[in-house]
Chain A
Amino acid sequence: MANSKSAYSIAGKKQKNDTHIIVVWVDNEAGVLARVVGLFSGRGYNIESLAVAEVDQKENISRITIVTTGTPQVVDQIKLQLKKLVPVHKVADFKREDKNVIFKEMALFKFVANNEKLIKAFKACKNFNPVILDETKKSKVIQITALRREIDKMSKNLTKFGLVSVSRTGAVAMTRGSDVFK
């Protein structure tokens, strides 16, 4: 082996990364998001998207949904480290490929174009539950819900219909069927 000029060992082989959706139930208190996000940045984990809101006002619980990538070992660490945080109640982890879990993101598209293009734009969105939220003669704001890569694709394809602005949320997730994650 080459002479390493370091007091540390050399990085080992890289394993394959998977995409996971981590759902964290936390006390809704000051700084809790910073704790969770700081854990990710401090330990070098990825955050692809993030969605957070209070889900239980009585118990004061917020639900944070984080899309992340990492090797199985890293994803395990993420879960275990999250569970150590004092305001964290429980942590769920789903693989993106998991058929038993629904993932959705929402996006708002603003189109500025002539009427013909605006109609085409709305049609192009038809597979993703489009809702027109605002409309003028020259513009439309359309809301869609879809998967991340579908929204990626849409925002690329829709430029020809006068797409001028995109605003989107992080993914949220829920299991299918009657089971509730405990």
Chain B
Amino acid sequence: MPKLYSGAEIVFKCLEDQNVSHIFGYPGGAVLPIYDELKNFNSIKHILVRHEQGAGHAAEGYARSSGKPGVLLVTSGPGATNAVTALTDAYMDSVPLVCITGQVPTHLIGTDAFQECDTTGITRPCTKHNWLVKDINDLAEIMHKAFEVATTGRPGPVLVDIPKDIQFQKTKYKNYRKVKKLNGKSHDNFSQKNIDELIKLISKAKKPIFYTGGGVINSGPKASELLRELVYATGFPITSTLQGLGCFPADDNQFLGMLGMHGTYEANNAMYSCDLMINIGARFDDRITGKIDEFSPKSKKVHIDIDPSSINKNVKVDLPIVGDIKSVLTSTLKTLKKSKKNFSKSNKHQISNWWEKIQKWRSKRSLDYIGSEETIKPQYAIERLYELTKDRDTYITTEVGQHQMWAAQHYKFNKPNRWMTSGGLGTMGYGLPAAVGVQIAHPKKLVVDIAGEASVLMTMQEMSTAVQYNLPIKIFILNNEYMGMVRQWQELLHDKNYSESYTAALPDFVKMAEAYGCVGMRAKTPEELDDKIIDMLNTDRPVIFDCLVDKQENCFPMIPSGKPHNQMLLGPKDQKDKKITGKGRTLV
């Protein structure tokens, strides 16, 4: 007779078969049988967080920096509802997560039992799929399917809800065999004809641009390599969304910087004026397009995406190509090399006017800011952080707000999977737990959370996790005492009525660090900044770095709401030249 395993054992057998090495979680009544089994599975290490949202974001950080799915294990009721923010965040940013939740025993479901909630009902809109396991014999199959759904096609979160009695029941465990096709959900739907059309458009274009996004990173490191090859082979300019940063080297001359609401002048103007836009793994988000009616009015648009529902959702495109970026780029390069040898040379003349125009836009230097000797400008802080860390393989996470945009603008990424930020959902409090997850996946690497003082307080409790597991994460807080982005919008759009955006009673972050058992540092002047950052980098423990920055600084350039790309608001330097000051700015 074959050996019988309990539901709890099967959960771990499945995790073992899926090569899971770390899970993030928090115990509770409805998952105790699973926690009880933990001791028997040495290959799986459990990271105890301090809040289930932290488990979710840590799993996201782990997944985005490693390319493997992140796994979290939480209890029923509040455990599950606390994880909802992280699941929604992962859903918006296409991060593969497998969330295992405990549930009250099956006979109590529907009775409003202690710590019961309709977990599958609550998480239905924020997962790719979820399952309530009602029969022990389905458990193994569901667990494996969960991993498959999370990681195939456009990745995303899934949830498996396991009632407590199922965790105790016993059944056989069949060895896992990978199924090829998932209910007819195929992903590579493009044909050579699509590629030929793309090559035709590429060879005709006079004002082309690549617009790349997180899909390139999700397609794996090979996709980024292929992208670089294609961009060099064509000689075209390239811009990237917030999530796509790192798939093309930021210090390369062909890179125009990030586009969108806080993107560079050259990237946004090039998007507006181009005649061929090749979208690779981006989704025409509203932070990117601005006013949709006037979005890139004269261009032919190509959209390469693995998710057919992303195509023609916000912007109508001329050539849709549904497929995995890696395979589409492979075919494109193959065809390009075959039909047009030395294309970048032969094509140089055709796009030379375009490059001249781009250089003109570039010469505006839209990321410039007015420096200061007295106060630390937040942009300067990030520039210094970049200069002092660029020789190491650094992983950056962020919270959400001005600091996030400054980090995207001024920190230069050269490799994929090095930049973890909450783009779609915009979750304040993402960065610190994400840094925990990144450090777990890359124990020897430098992991910095570029944070704002308001965001970081939302999940500050996870410092305790970092201390427990000796994770030397660096929390680099740009402290301006305001919810900076809220303040900026209030300044620009609500007549400087700074309603509730100032935090009047902030904790002393240095003392706080000490209370957590890690290291606190503070920088007040530009003069001491470098030394302090070097101190931080040389500390092999978790650090909270309180960087006191200019309280009034705004994040520019910026496309104001409801405006197209060619009507950007530039920084204070430019505005002084144009004599738009004070009140005028609020009217733009």
Contacts and interface: CB of A to CB of B under 8 A. Distances in A.
B292 interface: yes
Contacts of B311: 80
B125 A9 contact: no
A8 interface: yes
A88 B128 CA distance: 13
Contact of A86 (B120, B129, B292, B309): B129
A83 to B, nearest CB: 7
Contacts of B494: 5
Nearest to A88: B183
A34 B122 CA distance: 11
B561 A7 contact: yes
B92 to A, nearest CB: 13
Interface string A1-42: 101111111101100000000000000001100110010001
Interface in A53-96: 73, 76-77, 80-81, 83-90
B307 A84 contact: yes
B183 A87 contact: yes
A35 B494 CA distance: 40
A31 B120 contact: yes
B561 A4 contact: yes
Nearest to A5: B493
A85 to B, nearest CB: 8
Contacts of A85: 129
B312 A84 contact: no
B251 interface: no
A80 B587 contact: no
B227 interface: no
A121 B158 CA distance: 55
B308 interface: yes
Nearest to A3: B587
B307 A10 contact: no
B121 A34 contact: yes
Given A38-B125, A89-B183, A8 B286 contact: yes
Given A9-B291, A38-B125, A89 B562 contact: no
Q: Could you say which of A3, A6, A90 has the most chain B C-beta atoms within 10 Å of its C-beta?
A: A3
B132 A30 contact: yes
B125 A42 contact: yes
Interface string B453-487: 00000000000000000000000000000000000
Contacts of A83: 185, 308-309
B293 A86 contact: no
B313 interface: yes
A10 B125 CA distance: 25
B223 to A, nearest CB: 21
Given A12-B293, A86-B128, A87-B183, A81 B309 contact: yes
Interface residues of B, number: 35
Q: Could you say which of A42, A77, A86, A88 has the most chain B C-beta atoms within 10 Å of its C-beta?
A: A86
Nearest to B560: A4
Contacts of A7: 489, 561
A10 B562 contact: yes
Contacts of A86: 128-129, 149, 182-183, 185
Contacts of B562: 1, 4, 6, 8-10
Nearest to B125: A42
B132 A9 contact: no
Contacts of B309: 77, 80-81, 83-84
A54 B308 CA distance: 28
Nearest to A27: B183
Nearest to A73: B312
Interface string B277-289: 0000000001001
A144 to B, nearest CB: 37
A9 B149 CA distance: 34
Contact of A9 (B124, B129, B290): B290
B184 interface: yes
A76 B121 CA distance: 26
Contact of A76 (B149, B312, B560, B587): B312
A35 B561 contact: no
Contacts of B132: 30-31
Interface string B131-157: 010100000000000000100000000
Contacts of B560: 4
Contacts of A30: 132, 134
Interface in A97-148: none
B124 A10 contact: no
A75 B415 CA distance: 39
B561 A6 contact: yes
Given A6-B562, A80-B309, A84-B309, A34 B286 contact: no
Contacts of B587: 3
Contacts of A5: 493-494
Contacts of A38: 124-125
Contact of B308 (A1, A6, A80, A87): A80
B292 A9 contact: yes
A3 B587 CA distance: 6
Contacts of A6: 493, 561-562
Contacts of B128: 84, 86
Interface string A145-164: 00000000000000000000
Contacts of B291: 9-10
A12 B286 CA distance: 12
Q: Which 9 A-B pairs have the closest CB atoms?
A: A80-B309, A86-B129, A4-B562, A10-B562, A9-B562, A4-B561, A42-B125, A5-B493, A12-B293
Interface of B: 120-121, 124-125, 128-129, 132, 134, 149, 182-185, 286, 289-293, 307-309, 311-313, 316, 489, 493-494, 560-563, 586-587
23 contacts: A1-B563, A3-B587, A4-B561, A6-B562, A8-B286, A8-B562, A9-B286, A10-B561, A12-B293, A30-B134, A31-B124, A35-B124, A38-B124, A38-B125, A73-B312, A77-B312, A80-B309, A84-B309, A85-B129, A86-B149, A86-B182, A87-B183, A89-B184
Given A6-B562, A42-B125, 10 more contacts: A4-B493, A4-B561, A10-B291, A31-B121, A76-B312, A77-B309, A83-B309, A85-B129, A86-B149, A86-B183
